[in-house]
């Protein structure tokens, strides 16, 4: 595996699913069948924050991801907030922790608490602080708002 890319995006739209699709489009991962992974980072790949993912292969293929996403309804008083945090050990293995909600500070605090607990559960040496990426989508009176943060593993692959 070459690289894990962290991308993010937000969007508003008339339906919840189209807002989510729009947020995926803003991150450029909307043309793949996303395959959800748990949150352990392999030691070998590099990890890059890219914002917008590059072309990761043909449309319709499967793309392994760790993903956080949130959608709020029209007229919501709070934003949609997606957050992803990560940390790597000295050996290169690491952890992702994904949280969503409607309060950016609470999402970040929960990510940091979760990573700390994940570190406690493993016999790995960590010598850095976690990195946290938060994306928000501000609500609109007549549209759903969605936010996503995605860690895409490598390139897409055929599902057949």
Along the chain (160 residues), what's the average pLDDT of each consecutive run of 10 residues? 92 98 98 96 96 97 98 97 98 97 98 98 95 97 98 96
Neighbouring CB atoms inside 10 A of 60's CB total 12
Residue 35 lies in a domain: yes
Residue 118 lies in a domain: yes
Number of compact structural domains in the chain: 1
Which helix (H) or strand (E) segment holds residue 154: the answer is none
Residue 9 lies in a domain: yes
Residue 14 lies in a domain: yes
Residue 99 lies in a domain: yes
CB-based contact 124:95 (threshold 8 Å): no
User: For the domain that residue 53 is a member of, what is the CATH number?
Assistant: 3.50.20.10
Note the pTM of the prediction, 2 decimals. 0.96
Residue 160 lies in a domain: no
Residue 77 lies in a domain: yes
Residue 158 lies in a domain: no
Q: Where are the alpha helices (DSSP H) in the chain?
A: 16-27, 104-120
Beta strands 94-101; 144-153: pairing state? unpaired
pLDDT at 1: 55
pLDDT at 13: 98
Domain range enclosing 36: 3-153
CA-CA distance, 97 to 127, in Å (whole number)? 18
Q: In sequence order, what are the residues at sequence separation of 6 or more whose Cβ sits closer than 8 angstroms to the Cβ of residue 90?
A: 124, 125, 126, 127
pLDDT at 2: 87
């Amino acid at each position: 595996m070459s690289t894990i890319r962290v991308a993010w995006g937000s969007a508003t739209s008339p339906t919840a699913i189209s807002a989510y699709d729009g947020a995926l489009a803003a991150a450029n991962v909307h043309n793949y069948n996303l395959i959800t992974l748990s949150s352990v980072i392999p030691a070998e790949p590099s990890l890059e924050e890219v914002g917008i993912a590059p072309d990761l292969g043909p449309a319709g293929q499967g793309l392994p991801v760790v993903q956080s996403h949130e959608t709020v309804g029209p007229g919501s008083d709070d934003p949609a907030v997606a957050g992803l945090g990560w940390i790597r050990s000295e050996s290169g293995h690491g952890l992702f922790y994904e949280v969503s909600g409607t309060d950016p500070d609470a999402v970040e605090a929960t990510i940091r608490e979760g990573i700390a607990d994940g570190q406690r559960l493993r016999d790995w040496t960590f010598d850095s602080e976690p990195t946290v990426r938060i994306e928000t989508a501000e609500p609109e009176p007549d549209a759903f708002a969605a936010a996503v943060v995605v860690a895409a593993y490598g390139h897409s692959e055929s599902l057949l």
